Structure 1
Amino acid sequence: MTTTRRALAAGIAAALMQALMLIAFAWPAANTAPRELPLAVTGPQAAMVTGMLDERQPGGFETRTVADESAARGAITDRAVYGAIVTGDGPPRVLIASGASPAVAQLLTQMAQQLSGAPVAPVQDLVPADPDDPRGVAFGVAVLPLVMSGLAAGVLLSLLVPSIGAKALGLGAFAVTAGLLSMAIVQGWLSLLPGAYGELALVSGLVSFAVAGTVVGFSSVLGRAGIGVGALLMLFIGNPFSGATSAPEMLPAGWGALGQLLPPGAAASLLRAVAFFDGTGASGPLVVLSAWAGLAVVLLVVGAILGRRKGTSTHAGKHEAGASDQNREAAVVG
């Protein structure tokens, strides 16, 4: 391929990558809407409210009728639902949890205004977001640096560190240091998350190891192509469908669930569970992140085995070549 053709191919490839990034990041944001969003309803008018919701936004809410207001509150704090509508005397009251998702809380607040017909509707926030980040904007933005730094660490370790053992050591050092520093900034300096610093640092360290380890693991097995696989999973798919700025149920159908199976989405859910709900709902995302960390370790082991076999094969080839040269020299002398 000539230099001119190579330049044209590189330019077109870069433009295609830009188009893919626009689709990956802009499409979910442009199609944010509730899709089977769990919502509790209680009181004598529960059936009427459920019918109104189904009529106004078919498929938007997965309403669950509970016994009373106490049960509705419990469902919210147990993370079974995002909010609740309580009917009875007077206009319906809405219970929200902005710590679970400020975007959903805002949606339910607007719904409360529509149901009550008043500009100021009775809304109670049971699990409020951090007062320094009431709309959750900084929280959503904070998840991206965790992913990007993990990708960067994975690329550096893949390209600059030849030994599998040294790669593993670098991953461990990165995970510990990144976990401590990131939460010192997010919680100590910026005050964006409540909760125990040590627990949040452990979460951040696990996320860092899962992202960076996946990149290093794939590159150990597939070579430089593995870096592209890691970037595709974490940045192009995982990040825009993480639900960090909204909620998985607010993303296009199916994609929100997929995002929760990747480290960025699991990271956002686990951070919310630890910071705002005392660990309630943490088991699912913790299993996902642990599985990715385990996959990274398995890939590193496979890469070490493949590297050892390659080294043995190369050594055997050199030995055979040396023996062949000695035989030829002996034949000449003879």
Structure 2
Amino acid sequence: MHSASPQSGPSRSMPAQRALGVAVAAALLQLLMILAFAWPAARTAPRDVPVVVAGPQAAAVAQRLDQQRPGAFAIATRPDEAAVRRALADREAYGAIVTTPAGPRVLVASAASPAVAQQLTALAQQMAGQTAAPVQDVVAADPDDPRGAAFGALVLPLIMSGLAAAALLTFAVGPLAWRAAGVAVFAVLGGLGSTALAQGWLSLLPGSFLAVAGVVTLALLAVSGAVIGLAAALGRAGIGLGGLVLLLLGNPLSAAGSAPELLPEPWGALGQALPPGAAVTLLRSVAFFDGAGAAAPLTVLAVWAVAGFALLGVGRLRAGRAAPAEREPALASS
């Protein structure tokens, strides 16, 4: 008779434990993904959306807005319609209500957010009563994409291509310096190619080709650079961490189809601190507003890109320290 090896029991249980652990982790990840993608959409509502009012009844309109929708709008007054238009063009507000003896007039900037423009238009119609309030779009969205649906669809491909490029370079290229060079080449080619496609064939983005391409290039550099830096510093786990942060959080919180002020707090602000949200805001500023409001998202993308290359330096130091430790056992055995 052959007795069973004492190692057979634990060894047989290891695959079962791993299978159970992976299944539980995947189920938890699924719940997290549903929460990340569905919760912001289910809780979309205006929260301190910047609007301006002007005209002889500006104070009364501001009070009425605050009473009807408490906490929905951050209301500021301007002396006249010219100041209102400057506020919209400078991205200080999403829309405005100008009071006149004939009734209120609504000014919107749908390029900043078609969703907010629609809500402000509907609200103004309610305030005007039976007479429809005239609406003027001061900074309009692209005529080929008036609702911003295609603009919002640009974000996910940028994130996924950046993640894919970082993963491929990590596994296919050994020297960290060449990985960094690969990220730079990918970002430039991706920026030029994506902008040519978006402005040429799809006609989605107006503005200077080089300026828009520069924004896309910086966004790709921030995404792929951050992930490749995390991979160099943390190993393969860095790719997973980068994917979770940029794809699982960054994409649904980018507010590409709405506005940061429409997301539940504090997720709107968090989304603007991640590359996808910053890229969306910077693209809107450069393509539609001549660069107004570009400083904050430009800084965010630059910080992420620099941090990625700094992590590459950390990975290089880590590899340099590991090399002597690997050589010592080899010398001892020889």
**1:143 counterpart = 2:155:** yes
Helix, strand or coil at the partner of 1:41: strand
Q: Which amino acid aligns with 2:171?
A: L
Equivalent position of 1:284 in the other structure: 296
1:221 alignment partner, one of 233, 258, 261: 233
1:107-186 superposed matches below 5 A: 107-118=119-130, 120-186=132-198
**For residues 134 and 86 of structure 2, what CA distance do their matches in structure 1 show?**
19
2:315 alignment partner, one of 303, 317, 321: 303
Helix, strand or coil at the partner of 1:79: coil
**For residues 17 and 178 of structure 1, what CA distance do their matches in structure 2 show?**
30
CA deviation vs aligned residue, 1:214-252 (integer Å, no higher than 9, x gap): 111011011111112111210111111111111111110
1:45-124 superposed matches below 5 A: 45-118=57-130, 120-124=132-136
1:269 alignment partner, one of 262, 268, 281: 281
Q: Which amino acid aligns with 2:20?
A: L
Helix, strand or coil at the partner of 1:194: coil
Helix, strand or coil at the partner of 2:146: coil
Equivalent position of 1:236 in the other structure: 248
What is the RMSD computed on CA atoms of the aligned residues?
Answer: 1.2
Helix, strand or coil at the partner of 1:40: strand
Q: Which amino acid aligns with 1:202?
A: G
**For residues 150 and 214 of structure 2, what CA distance do their matches in structure 1 show?**
20
Say how many residue pairs are matched: 322
Equivalent position of 1:326 in the other structure: none
**For residues 326 and 25 of structure 2, what CA distance do their matches in structure 1 show?**
36
1:22 alignment partner, one of 31, 34, 53: 34
Compute the TM-score of the two structures, normalised by the length of structure 2.
Answer: 0.94
Equivalent position of 1:328 in the other structure: none
Deviates more, 1:156-165 or 1:181-190: 156-165
Cα shift at 1:107 = 0.7
Helix, strand or coil at the partner of 1:280: coil
CA deviation vs aligned residue, 1:44-102 (integer Å, no higher than 9, x gap): 21121111111111110000011111111111101111111101211111100001111
Equivalent position of 1:209 in the other structure: 221
Helix, strand or coil at the partner of 1:84: strand
Equivalent position of 2:6 in the other structure: none
**For residues 307 and 225 of structure 2, what CA distance do their matches in structure 1 show?**
8
**For residues 189 and 54 of structure 1, what CA distance do their matches in structure 2 show?**
44
Q: Hey, which bits of structure 1, 4+ residues long, moved more than 6 A?
A: none
Aligned-pair identity in percent equals: 55
**For residues 25 and 15 of structure 1, what CA distance do their matches in structure 2 show?**
15
**For residues 273 and 119 of structure 1, what CA distance do their matches in structure 2 show?**
34
**For residues 173 and 33 of structure 2, what CA distance do their matches in structure 1 show?**
29
The unaligned stretches of length 5 or more in structure 2 are 1-12
Cα shift at 1:319 = 2.3
Q: Which amino acid aligns with 1:69?
A: E
1:312 alignment partner, one of 324, 328, 332: 324
Equivalent position of 1:327 in the other structure: none
Cα shift at 1:10 = 2.0
Cα shift at 1:119 = 6.5
**For residues 166 and 193 of structure 1, what CA distance do their matches in structure 2 show?**
33
Cα shift at 1:159 = 2.2
Q: Which amino acid aligns with 1:141?
A: A
